[in-house]
Structure 1
Amino acid sequence: MEKDIFKQRRQMLTDMILNNELYVPMKAKEIAMLLDIPKAKRSELMEVLDSLVADGTIGVSKKGKYMKPENVALVGTFESTSRGFGFVVIPDREDDIFVKANDTMNAFYHDKVKVVITTEKNGGKRAEGKIVAIVEHEVKEVVGTFQKNRTYGFVIPDNAKINCDIFIPQEFMNGAVEGSKVVASISDYGSQSKNPQGKVTEVLGHIDDPGVDIMSIIKAYDLLVEFPESVKKAINDIPDVVSEKDKAGRVDLRNVQMVTIDGEDAKDLDDAVSISKEGPVYHLGVHIADVSHYVTEGSALDKEALKRGTSVYLVDRVIPMIPHKLSNGICSLNQGEDRLALSCLMDIDEKGNIVGHRICETVINVDRRMSYTSVKKILVDNDTNEIMKYKELVPMFHMMEEAAELLRKKRFARGSVDFDFPESKIILDENGHPTDIKPYDRNVATKIIEDFMLAANETVAEDYFWQDMPFLYRTHENPDPEKMRKLATFINNFGYTLRLTDDLRPKEIQKLLSEIEGSDAENLISRLTLRSMKKAKYTTECVGHFGLAAKYYCHFTSPIRRYPDLQIHRIIKENLHGGLSPKRAAHYDAILPDVAVQTSAMERRAADAERDTDKLKMAEYMEQFVGETFDGVVSGVTAWGVYVELPNTIEGMVSINNMKGFYTFDEEHYEMVGELGNRSYKLGQKVKVVVIGTDKILRTIDFAFA
C-alpha cells in the first residue's frame, strides 16, 4: 500500500515540476516537507529523484536544486556518428558529453541542442547526457550521391556522420539520375521512424566526372568559390601597379637586397626576407605585403575576407580569401615589381636574442623569386649550377642560414616543441587523378623561412602587448592536466618519464621528444603527445603559446591568406600614424572578440576540407594497388581496428572484423591484444599489410595484415 502511495507521489512530483505547478528550483528537503514525506522515507525520495535525473525527466543544479530539465540544460552542438550515438560539444567545456542512440531525440548532425547531464564524468570516462530540446538545425543542406527508384529517390550523404539518407520525392529530383552528385536542401528532419525529406537543389555532375569529387567537398563545407558582384566591382578600382602617391611617406627599401622563398607552385607571395651583418649583429628584415592598403575596413572586400577567414588550399586548387587580382597581383611580392609592405626589421645578437626592432611601412622591390628547392641546392647540395645562377645572392643565403640557426637554438633552449610529422604531397594529372603521393620535403630553406616568420610574429606580438593596445593574438593554452597524466602513465610502459607539475613547462615535452628521437616508440609517443595538447586559436587575450614556449605570439606574416594578419596590420598602421584614439581603441575592443571566434572557426573548417580532399585522393590513388602488400607502421589503435601508415604518408585501417582470431582493445596501453596473448599490435609497430579495398566517398582505405 505504501509503495502505491509513494508511486503516486512520485508521479505527482514529476507532473508538478514539469507542468510548472510546483515552485522550483527546490532542494530535496523542501520537496519532502511540501509532500509531507517523513524523515524515515526521505532516502526513498532521493532514490526517486536520482532516477528522474538519470533518465533526464528532471534536472538538478550544482547546488542540489531540482527543476525542469531545460533549466539546467547545457547548450552545445551535436556531433552524430554513423552508429547512432553521438557527442554534444559545449563551448569552453574541455570534454564532450556522450549521448546514447536512444537519448539523441533524433537530433541531426550539427544541430544546436540542449543536453542534460545524466552521469557525471568519472576518471577517464566521459560525462553522459540526454538531449531534451533541439534549438536549431544548423545543417540546411547535404551533399551526397543520388539513388533513384521508380517514383522517388534518396541522397546518400557523403558525410558518414549523417547516419540516414535523405528521401527525395519525384517532383523534387531536379533532373538528378542514378550516380549524380547533388546538393539537397532539407525540408523535414524526420523522426525515429521516418527519414528526413528534401529536394535536390543542384546537380554537380556524375560521380565519375573529373573534378566533381572535389567540388562535392567544397559544397559540403560551404566554401565560397565565387566572389559576389560587390567584390568584383570593387577590384575594378584597384590598380595593377603601385602609384607614386602610395609610395610617399614610406621607408624606401628598394635598394636593399631581398628575396622571396616559397614552393615552386606558389603564386601568392606575401613575405620577403633580407639580411645583413654589422659586427656580431644580424639585421634581419621580414617584409610583409601591405594588403590592408587595398582591403580597407568595412569595404566589400573586407566583409568577404572576414566571411572566408582564410584561403583554402585543396589538393587541386586554391580558394583565395581575396581575389586573384590582389593575391597574385598587386599584393603579391613579385620579383622586380615595386610593392607596398609592412616590415619588421630586427637586430639579432650572436646568442639569438632580438636586441632591437622597428616596425614600419615600406616600399620594396624583390630581387629574386627563389624556391625552397633552389636554396637547398645552394646550401646543402653545393650544386655548382645553382650557385652560379644565383651567385650574387649566395652570401646572403649563408648569412640567413647562420641567423636562422641562432634563432632556432634560442627557441629550443626555452622549450619550443617541434612535431615534425611528414605532410603529404599529392601529384595529380590533368584530369585530377593522383599519379603519385609522397612526403613533403621539409628542408633547410623551409626551416629558415619558418624561423624568420616566427621571430617576426613574436616581435610584433610583444611590442603591441606592452603598448597595451587592442590586438589579436595566436594562443595555445597549456595541456589539460588529466590528459598529461594519462600520457605520463602510458609512456612509463616504454621506460620514459614526463615530470608533471602544477604548471607544466613546454621544456618537459621537448625533453621527452628528444629522448624518444630515433627509437621504435618515437612515432607512437609523438602522436599521443600531440593528441594530448590543445588546439591553437585566435584570442584577444595574450595568454601565450605553449607549443612555441612563447609568452607573446600573433599571426602577422600572411595577410593575403589569413584574416587575423590583415586585421592586426590595420591596428599597427593606425598606431604608426599617430596612435589609437580612445574611440578607435573602443571600436577594436568591440569587434576583435567576434573576429577571433570567426577566424578560428573558419581555420578549422579549412583544415577539415583540406584533410578530406587529401584522404579522397589517397583512397583514389590506392585503388590501383588492391591485392598488393606494403610495409607500414601502426599509427593508431582503437576498439574497432588498427590504423597503419605507409611510408608515403597514406593511412588505412585494418578493421577488427578483418583480423584473424579474437582481439580486444587494451585502452590503457593503446594495444590490440589477441585472445591467446601470443600476438598484439601497438602504436609504432612495424607491420606488413595488404590493400583489400578503398572507398572514395567515405575516403577510406581498408587493409588486412599480411
Structure 2
Amino acid sequence: MKEDIFEKRKKVIYDLICDEHYIPMKVKELAILLQVTKEERPSLQAVLDELVKEGKIEVSKRGKYKKLESPVLVGTFIGNQKGFGFVEIEGAEEDIFIPESGVNGALHQDTVQVALVSGKPGKRREGEVVRVLARGITEVVGTYQKSKNFGFVVPDSLKFTRDIFIPIERSKGAVDGHKVLVEITDYGSKNKKPEGKVKKIIGHINDPGTDILSIVYAYDLPVEFSDKIMHQAENVSNEVSEADMAGRMDIRDWQIVTIDGEDAKDLDDGVSLTKEGDIYHLGVHIADVSNYVQENSALDREALKRGTSVYLVDRVIPMLPHKLSNGICSLNEGVDRLALSCIMDIDGKGNVTGHQIAETVIKVDRRMTYTSVKKILEDRDPEETAKYEKLVPMFEMMQELAAILRKKRRQRGSIDFDFPETKIILDKEGHPLEIKPYDRNVATKIIEDFMLIANETVAQDYYWQELPFVYRTHDNPDPEKIQQLALFINNFGYAIKNTRDEIHPKELQKLLARIEDSPEETLISRLTLRSMKRASYTVECTGHFGLAAPYYCHFTSPIRRYPDLQIHRIIKENLRGKMNEGRIEHYQSILQTVADQSSKLERRADEAERETEKLKKAEYMENHIGETFEGVISSITSWGMYVELSNTIEGMIHVTNMYDDRYYYREETHEMFGVDTGKVYKLGQKVRIRVLGADKHTRSVDFEMAAEDEEEQP
C-alpha cells in the first residue's frame, strides 16, 4: 500500500514539474505549493531524489528542481588513468564514453547521471556527467607520501585517478612508502582534491606480503573470522557421530578416491567407479557441509557474506574456517565422512540412464594427486603404478568413461577453450621464482568430466521437480557480437551459420575445430571467447550456452562456493520429505538474493585473483628487463599491441615504441599497420620482443620490438 502511495506522489510531482507553466523551485517552495507539512517534507524529498535518480527530472546547482533539458541516463562511472572514463548503463550493450572535460568530479564506481551529447554516426556514444548521485567507493588503498605539514595518498587503482589529501593529524603516523587504507571524508570537487583519513597502516611497500595484502584490502576481502564464528567452528566435532550417520546410506566399503592438486587441503569431492556389463556406475560424493553449517547461523551468514573462497598467489582466503574446511568437512583419507552423493548409471554413449541422490557415509581409500594419476595413466610410470596397484583398474576405467562423456558433450556442441592457467612459484619472502602455464592433464580432465555430469544430473532432477533452486546459467551471446565475429573470420576463409537472433554453440565448437593448429587459432579463439557472455547464478534454469547443457548447477564444491552449500540444503530437505509449502515459500523469498550476491562476490574474487597474478608477473619481469623473448600478439588497440609470452606473462608494446614506422589501428580487421612500410601486425602473430620495463606497483609490463635474429633468453 505504501509503495502505491509513493508511486502516486511521484506521478503528481513529475507531472507538476513537467507542466509548461512550472517555474523551477527548491524543496521548501514545492512544499508550500503542494501544502506539505514540515513533518511530511522528508517524504517529499525522497520522491524528488527518486525522480532525479531515475533520470526523469534534474536539480540545478542552486537546488532547484526542473524538467530535463537533455536526455539523462543513470549508470556507474568507470574511471581511467588518463582522465577520461566510461559510464556503464544496466541492460545497455555499449558503455558511454566520457571525455576528461565531461567527468565533472565523478570518481570510479560512482553512480552518476549522464547526459548524452551528439556524436558522429557509427561512433561510440559520448556523454557528460551532470550529477553524482551516490559515491561508489568509501575506502581506498594506496601509498602514503609525506610532506612537511600534511600527506597524501596515491591510490593503487589506476581507475581512481585523484590523489587523496591527508591532514597530518589524520595520518596515524604513516611514513613515506607505507601502504595504507584510507577512508574518504570529502570527495572534493573539480578543482579540489578529495580528502581522507588513514584507517589502517597495511605495511611498508618493501615488507614481504604487503603487496598482496594491499589487494586484499582494496577488494574488501574479509580476512579474519570473528571470535563468535571461530567459537562456533571450535564447537563442531572432529569426528562423525553415530547420530549423524543414522538413516544414511552406508557406503564406507566402496572404493572411493579423491584426486586433487598437491597443495589442496579442502577436499570436497570423492569419486568411485564400477562397471556391470555395458553400464558404468559412477559415484560423485560431495562433502556434506550443510550438516555442520546450519541455515542462518553465524557461520552461514559469514559464508554468504564471503560467497566463495579466494585463491590468491600466496594464500587462500577461505569461505569457512579451516577447522571445518580442512577438518570435518574435508574428505580426508581413511576417516568416516558425511557426504551427499550423486550415483549415476551411464551407458557406453555417455547417457545417464538412471541416478540416485542420497545422504551417505563414506570413507576415502586414497588421497590421490593429479600428478600421481597422470604418472599412472599417461606416463605409465612403473613405480607409481606398483604403488597404487589395487586402484589402477579403476583409474583406467575412469579414463575410459571420461573420454565417453567428453565425446558426448562435444557432439552436442560444448565449447572447450583450452587456454592455460598460470602457476606462480614464490620463495619464502613472496618473490616469484618461476611462472609457467598450468596445463590440464588426463587426471584434471577426469575430475572435470565427472563433476560436470554430476552438476548436470542434479540440475535436471530438480528442474523437473519444479522446486526452488540455484542454477549456473550462461546466456547466448549477443547476435551483434556474433555477426562481428562472422565478418572478421570471413577474412580468413572461415564462416559460421547463424541466424540474426540466435546461434547454436555447436557452430562455435565447429569453428574452433576447423582452426585447430592453424596460424590464426589463437586469434580466433580469443575473439570467440570475447564474443560470449559471463556465466552467473540464477533462480531460473535458462541453460548453459558454453556447455550446450539445458540444465546445469554448481553442486560439487560446498566448502568453497556458497551456491553449492545452498542447494545441498534444498536437496536434503527434499530427501527428508520436509519440502512443504512453507519451506518452498521461504526458499523462493531468499534465493534471488543468494544468486545475485554469489555472482557479484564471484566477480570480486576473480578480479582480486587476476590482480595478484598481474602483480607477481610484473615483479618477475622486473628481473628480466633488457632480455628478449618470443611471444604471440594477444590483443591490439589504438594505443598499442599486447603480447603474451609462453609463460603466460602479457606485456604491451606502445605505438610510440614501434620505431620503424608510424602505426595505426585498423578496427575492422583488428590489425596494426605501418603507413610507410606497409607492415601489418595481426592477432595471433608470433613476434620477438625485448622487455623495456616492468612495474609491480602499477602491475604493468612494457615491451618493444626486438630484431628477428636477436637471441631469445632461455
Q: Tell me the equivalent position of 2:135.
A: 137
Aligned partners of 2:479 and 2:645: how far apart in 1?
33
The alpha-carbon distance between structure 1 residues 70 and 695, as it changes in their structure 2 partners (threshold 3 A), is farther
Say whether 1:592 aligns with 2:591. yes
Q: Tell me the equivalent position of 2:669.
A: 669
The aligned amino acid for 2:318 is P
Q: Tell me the equivalent position of 1:704.
A: 704
Q: Tell me the equivalent position of 1:562.
A: 561
Q: Tell me the equivalent position of 2:711.
A: none
Q: Tell me the equivalent position of 2:444.
A: 446
The aligned amino acid for 1:575 is N
The alpha-carbon distance between structure 1 residues 543 and 407, as it changes in their structure 2 partners (threshold 3 A), is same
Aligned partners of 2:549 and 2:491: how far apart in 1?
31
Q: Tell me the equivalent position of 2:402.
A: 404
Partner of 2:486, secondary structure, is helix
Task: Give per-residue Cα distances to partners, 1:442-495, cap 9 Å, x unaligned.
Answer: 100000000000000000000000000111000000000101111111111111
The within-5 A match list for 1:214-363 is 214-363=212-361
Q: Tell me the equivalent position of 2:82.
A: 83
Aligned partners of 2:250 and 2:482: how far apart in 1?
50
Partner of 1:333, secondary structure, is coil
Aligned partners of 1:57 and 1:411: how far apart in 2?
49
The aligned amino acid for 2:698 is L
Aligned partners of 1:603 and 1:119: how far apart in 2?
37
Displacement after TM superposition at 1:583 (Å):
1.2
Aligned partners of 1:192 and 1:650: how far apart in 2?
38
Partner of 2:702, secondary structure, is strand
Task: Give per-residue Cα distances to partners, 1:316-340, cap 9 Å, x unaligned.
Answer: 0000001000000000000001000
Q: Tell me the equivalent position of 1:45.
A: none
Q: Tell me the equivalent position of 1:682.
A: 682
Residue 370 of structure 1, aligned match among 359, 368, 371? 368
Contact 2:98 2:129 in 1 (8 A): yes
Q: Tell me the equivalent position of 1:36.
A: none
Q: Tell me the equivalent position of 2:494.
A: 496
Aligned partners of 1:676 and 1:493: how far apart in 2?
23
Contact 1:275 1:282 in 2 (8 A): yes
User: Normalised by the size of structure 2, how large is the TM-score?
Assistant: 0.89
Of 223-232 and 672-681, the range deviating more from structure 2: 672-681
Measured on the aligned residues, the alpha-carbon RMSD in Å equals: 1.9
Q: Tell me the equivalent position of 1:521.
A: 520
Partner of 1:643, secondary structure, is strand
Q: Tell me the equivalent position of 1:395.
A: 393
Unaligned runs of 5+ in 2: 1-13, 24-54, 59-65, 707-714
Q: Tell me the equivalent position of 1:180.
A: 178
Aligned partners of 1:312 and 1:152: how far apart in 2?
36
The within-5 A match list for 1:92-241 is 92-119=91-118, 123=122, 125-241=123-239
Contact 2:234 2:323 in 1 (8 A): no
Could you tell me the percent identity over the aligned residues?
Answer: 63
Say whether 1:511 aligns with 2:510. yes
Contact 2:479 2:502 in 1 (8 A): no
Contact 1:17 1:24 in 2 (8 A): no
The within-5 A match list for 1:10-29 is 22=20
Of 579-588 and 263-272, the range deviating more from structure 2: 579-588
Aligned partners of 2:139 and 2:125: how far apart in 1?
31
Contact 1:70 1:132 in 2 (8 A): no
Task: Give per-residue Cα distances to partners, 1:17-38, cap 9 Å, x unaligned.
Answer: 997663689xxxxxxxxxxxxx
User: Normalised by the size of structure 1, how large is the TM-score?
Assistant: 0.90
Aligned partners of 1:86 and 1:68: how far apart in 2?
27
Contact 2:16 2:22 in 1 (8 A): no
Say whether 1:611 aligns with 2:610. yes
Displacement after TM superposition at 1:121 (Å):
10
Displacement after TM superposition at 1:101 (Å):
2.2
Aligned partners of 2:249 and 2:214: how far apart in 1?
47
Q: Tell me the equivalent position of 1:37.
A: none
Contact 2:70 2:116 in 1 (8 A): no
The aligned amino acid for 1:132 is V
Q: Tell me the equivalent position of 1:52.
A: none
The aligned amino acid for 2:89 is I
The alpha-carbon distance between structure 1 residues 255 and 90, as it changes in their structure 2 partners (threshold 3 A), is same
Displacement after TM superposition at 1:120 (Å):
8.3
Of 297-306 and 146-155, the range deviating more from structure 2: 146-155
Say whether 1:483 aligns with 2:486. no
Displacement after TM superposition at 1:191 (Å):
1.0
Contact 2:281 2:344 in 1 (8 A): yes
Displacement after TM superposition at 1:441 (Å):
2.5
The alpha-carbon distance between structure 1 residues 159 and 613, as it changes in their structure 2 partners (threshold 3 A), is same
Q: Tell me the equivalent position of 1:652.
A: 651
The aligned amino acid for 2:283 is G
Task: Give per-residue Cα distances to partners, 1:3-28, cap 9 Å, x unaligned.
Answer: xxxxxxxxxxxxx9997663689xxx
Aligned partners of 1:339 and 1:57: how far apart in 2?
58
Displacement after TM superposition at 1:71 (Å):
10
Say whether 1:425 aligns with 2:432. no
Say whether 1:633 aligns with 2:632. yes
Aligned partners of 1:686 and 1:439: how far apart in 2?
18
Contact 1:69 1:116 in 2 (8 A): no
Displacement after TM superposition at 1:105 (Å):
2.8
Unaligned runs of 5+ in 1: 1-15, 26-55, 60-66
Partner of 1:213, secondary structure, is helix
The aligned amino acid for 1:76 is G
Contact 1:340 1:362 in 2 (8 A): yes
Displacement after TM superposition at 1:83 (Å):
1.7
Task: Give per-residue Cα distances to partners, 1:71-114, cap 9 Å, x unaligned.
Answer: 96433221111122212222333322222222223111101222
Q: Tell me the equivalent position of 1:386.
A: 384
Contact 1:253 1:362 in 2 (8 A): yes
Aligned partners of 1:589 and 1:340: how far apart in 2?
27
Displacement after TM superposition at 1:604 (Å):
0.3
Contact 1:274 1:284 in 2 (8 A): yes
Contact 1:69 1:132 in 2 (8 A): no
Of 213-222 and 76-85, the range deviating more from structure 2: 76-85
Aligned partners of 2:245 and 2:497: how far apart in 1?
55
The aligned amino acid for 2:665 is F
Aligned residues: 653
The alpha-carbon distance between structure 1 residues 584 and 70, as it changes in their structure 2 partners (threshold 3 A), is farther
Displacement after TM superposition at 1:219 (Å):
0.4
Displacement after TM superposition at 1:659 (Å):
1.2
Partner of 1:600, secondary structure, is helix
Task: Give per-residue Cα distances to partners, 1:202-238, cap 9 Å, x unaligned.
Answer: 1111111100000000000000000122211211220
